[in-house]
Structure 1
């Protein structure tokens, strides 16, 4: 009779956060980490998390305890036998509105596990658009509580009572706030020290200085008759840096007039100046 080999002993150390097909169970079993940036998500779809946040560098940082994720199923705080979370709009109209009392119960439980300084953000198409400045502010704090909208949205009284900040992924409407929440978390967590490993990659990317990022190239030097710009192969660091700055300015001016005007105002530049920018 064959004897099954013994399983290797587990390594000692921090308990790993493992991804599974039931992430809400995983997260509920994970003890709170002290002094770690925390993302809380109140949602009707807790199974959507960690989702893409459990992959690549962000997922590895989650496993290593550089940040932590807490999800709260809004349905658990619902009313009655069927755990209702919504009702018809006051004054009539289509769709359903999330009740303020239900949301208040969920927020009460969530906020007991996070710093009171962490903002509460409601993902809404009518909010301020996400930008790099917002992500930097969030990354410098203790964490954030994210409220994912559904249906026709959340009762305004809950938004007012908790001082929620309304934030939008862009000028379009989605079926819920879950994708926007994941985008916000990803964009913020990558700014936390040690998550990406190379801080220089953050310093030189789009929006880091108010400009879009310059073009990027890698091997081979020639591909389908297209060459890497000669200056990038010169080894002359000052010229390379000047070329990249020119490219960043040109791309921003061509593609994002709003960013270009803001950058020029901050640097005492005329946004309408006809500056010669090199393409070489």
Structure 2
């Protein structure tokens, strides 16, 4: 799977993709991540990519031409399944969205900055708009890294244990059950006996019960669905 990320601050994305699971996924050639510097597509000597908003108001707006030039260059080289804009007013990212996008092959991700991007880029090029929560960050780079991570870990072969992603929170609409490892007792706190029993059916039933209990306590809104 290939991700092309367009940003005015490519340095912000160096670390998230250079470690752990995403690094291994790239070494295995299961995932390709390319970060494009938007300033490379600016047509002025100062390489500026923003201007004042029409109608007045605070902040600066990212211009059409650099984004259009970069997107059209990429689209001239391959077919993209989605052009995604990371924005607070987009659809809130959830596991269902990540699952769906993990079955695609090529995705462009646009990272806004300043006050945002010219609406015409959204109207003409963007096929999906995604938010990582009801809050505002300084730019779309960190949300883009979150999106890539959420999608890439679902690609077969990325995780050493492919069944691990299937048991994550939200995969079945519930939060995950509590998890434990050795030692069996620590400062008077013991691992539940059922997990030490070796009885697979009882363990599965306990986990189902705990998933439902935890979801009822922490995210009852999930049960409405």
**TM-score normalized by structure 2?**
0.96
Tell me how far 1:197 sits from its aligned partner.
1.9
* 1:247 paired residue number: 210
For residues 180 and 205 of structure 1, what CA distance do their matches in structure 2 show? 20
Shift in CA distance, 120/111, structure 1 to aligned 2, threshold 3 Å: same
Q: Which residue, out of 98, 111, 114, partners 1:148? A: 111
**For each residue in 1:118-168, what CA deviation from the matched residue of structure 2 results, as whole angstroms up to 9, or x when unmatched?**
201101111111111111111101131000000000111110011332111
Of 97, 112, 115, the residue aligned with 2:76 is: 112
Determine the structure 2 residue equivalent to 1:134: 97
The 5 Å alignment of 1:46-61 reads: 46-61=10-25
- Counterparts of 2:154 and 2:66, CA distance in 1: 33
Deviation by residue 1:217-269 (Cα, 9 ceiling, x = unmatched): 0111110110000110111100000000010011111111221111xxxxxxx
Is the CA contact 1:54–1:62 (under 8 Å) kept in the aligned structure 2? no
For structure 1, which segment, 88-97 or 78-87, has the greater mean C-alpha deviation from structure 2 after superposition? 78-87
Which TM-score applies when normalising by structure 1?
A: 0.78
Deviating more after overlay: 95-104 vs 179-188:
95-104
* Deviation readout 1:150-189 (Å, 9 max, x if unpaired): 0000111110011332111111100000000001001110
How many residues in Structure 1 have an aligned counterpart in Structure 2? Answer: 225
Report the counterpart of residue 148 of structure 2 in structure 1: 185
Residues 113, 254 of structure 1: CA spacing in aligned structure 2 closer, same or farther, 3 A cutoff? farther
Separation in 2, partners of 1:42, 1:225: 52
Q: CA deviation at 1:83?
A: 1.7
For structure 2, which runs of at least 5 residues remain unmatched after alignment?
none
2:91 paired with 1:91:
no
Give the secondary structure class of the aligned counterpart of 2:90: strand
Which residue of the partner structure matches residue 103 of structure 1? 67
The alignment partner of 2:91 has SS state of strand
- Which one scores higher on RCO, CA 8 angstroms, separation ≥ 6? 2
Distance in 1 between residues matched to 2:217 and 2:195, nearest whole Å: 22
Q: Equivalent residue of 1:126, what SS? A: strand
Q: What 5-or-longer segments of structure 1 have no aligned partner?
A: 1-36, 263-280
Q: Which runs of 4+ in 1 moved over 4 A?
A: none
User: Contact between 2:85 and 2:126, CA under 8 Å: does it hold in 1?
Assistant: no
Aligned mate of 2:43, from 75, 79, 82: 79
RMSD: 1.1
Cα distance in 2 between the residues matched to 1:81 and 1:154: 21
Larger radius of gyration: 1
Give the whole-Å Cα distance in 1 for the aligned partners of 2:126 and 2:16. 29
Provide Cα deviations, 1:56-113, integer angstroms capped at 9, x if missing partner: 1220111121110111110011131112211101100011001112211111122234
Partner of 2:199: 236
